[in-house]
Amino acid sequence: MSEKVLLIVGAGPGISLTAAKKFGEKGFKIALISRSNQSLQEYVNELKNDGITAQGFPGDASSEESLKAAIKQVLTTFGNVDVLLYNAAAGQPGVPTTLSTNQLIEDFKVSVAGALTSVKEVLPLMKNGAIILTGGGLALEPYAGYASLAIGKAGIRNLAYSLHQELQPKSIYVGTLTLKGFVKEGTYFSPENIAQAFYEMYEKQDQVEVVYEEK
């Protein structure tokens, strides 16, 4: 069993928590960042009940200052991060012309800028690590009614490819899982299946982008 550390930014009850359990079962210690301290405590308690070492750190992915402070606490507590899973995203529903510039920018901060902040904060202490960014099918096939989210997913996909080019020579794996469907229990897109896909990406580290779709 390893003593590695997984940091999940954008912790929630679906694929984030399930991914935490999957990596935790493999011996990882888990650090979770989310805006809600109450929710974080619930996730940590659930993980600890499964025998997984976990701790929550309140932080807002839309705020560079807040996110940096949270990750600094993670590094102080655990010493380093071996795997970063960025699973935060935001998207005000609506066709492009109904979106305000400010709303688009705020959503982009969560969907893309927060990912870059997270990467830059963990990199100095990461050796032979892995960075996995949660993508979406909207990056490949935009839908007007979710224009802001689609722009965010296109951005995170682009960032993954750029980071891969930069960091591969430094023995850091970067990949994105492009989810072409809606997360739902009991389907191909169940949190359990997606968490398994995340872990396989970490193990194999052979593709920048894994397009997750039902054949």
Residue-wise pLDDT tens digits, 148-188 = 999 999 999 999 999 999 999 999 999 999 999 989 999 99
Whether 157 and 134 have beta carbons less than 8 Å apart is answered as: no
Cα(117)–Cα(37) distance, rounded to whole angstroms?
Answer: 21
Cα(141)–Cα(83) distance, rounded to whole angstroms?
Answer: 29
Predicted local confidence at residue 1, as pLDDT: 46
* Spans of the chain below 50 pLDDT: 1
How many Cα atoms occupy the beta-carbon half-sphere of 28 within 13 Å? 25
Predicted local confidence at residue 215, as pLDDT: 80
